[in-house]
Amino acid sequence: MELKKSKKANLENKRALFMEVGFVVALGLVLLAFEWTSNPSRAEGFDEQSGSEMVQESIPVTRQQQKKEPPPPPPPKSTEVINIVDNDVEIQDELRLEETEADQDTRVEIDAFVVEEEEEEEEHVFVVVEDMPSFRGKGLDAFARYVQENLVYPFIAQENGIEGTVYLRFIVDKDGSVRDVQVLRGVDPSLDKAAIEAVKKAPEWEPGKQRGKPVRVACTIPISFSLE
């Protein structure tokens, strides 16, 4: 048996209509949801406060009074004492001018004060000269050996085991004497003092010469202290 379809029973023909009706219903629901308003219950306390009148209190504006500074004191009045002298009073200290006649032949003597400046020229100390100073016909090494041989080792330094090398600087003057002995590098105060005394007790030198004239020459020697 064959099945026959009726065109009236076919729902596919009304599909577009149903869709349009669905859209219209959905749109109406959306608009209804937006238009729906709910009135919230008002609080009783707020209604009571709104009904009462608000009283505003006026606060007076106060300004701080500025202290007036007292006026400065008036300047002191200067009192000048005026001594009135009578015309009959004689003034003893009177300046008298004597008139003197001056001619071309008149001579005027002027006392001139001459100030003499004493300039002390510091003598230059050389380190190297044409003729170096000599000690007993020899140079600086001979003087160092002489000082080393005549050196007195301090007893205190020996007991404490102090030893080292002291470097001294001295000047051989124009007359051959040894002056201005200084410690350039010391070891111990006792050893430094012993080295200075040994140099000062040494005999005189033959002075150094520059251009045939004796000059001051500075020399430096090491003095060693060693315990055997």
pLDDT in tens, 118-172: 434 457 899 999 999 999 888 899 999 999 999 999 999 999 999 999 999 999 9
Predicted TM-score of the model (pTM): 0.46
Domain ranges of the chain: 125-225
Instruction: Say what the pLDDT of residue 40 is.
Output: 56
Instruction: Say what the pLDDT of residue 67 is.
Output: 62
What pLDDT band is residue 56 in, cutting at 50, 70 and 90? low
Q: Is 97 helix (H, G, I), strand (E, B) or coil?
A: coil
125-225: CATH architecture? 2-Layer Sandwich (3.30)
pLDDT digits (tens, 9 = 90+) for 175-220: 999 999 999 999 999 999 999 999 999 999 999 999 999 999 999 9
Instruction: Say what the pLDDT of residue 30 is.
Output: 86
pLDDT digits (tens, 9 = 90+) for 78-133: 655 566 656 555 655 555 655 556 566 656 554 444 444 443 445 789 999 999 99
Instruction: Give the whole-angstrom CA distance, residue 168 versus residue 179.
Output: 12
Instruction: Say what the pLDDT of residue 120 is.
Output: 40
Give the rounded percent of residues in the chain with a pLDDT score beyond 70.
59
Instruction: Give the whole-angstrom CA distance, residue 87 versus residue 103.
Output: 40
Sequence-separated (6 or more) residues with CB below 8 Å from residue 205: 133, 134, 135, 143, 172, 176, 177, 178
Sequence-separated (6 or more) residues with CB below 8 Å from residue 202: 135, 143, 146, 147, 150, 178
Instruction: Give the whole-angstrom CA distance, residue 208 versus residue 149.
Output: 24
Instruction: Say what the pLDDT of residue 117 is.
Output: 43
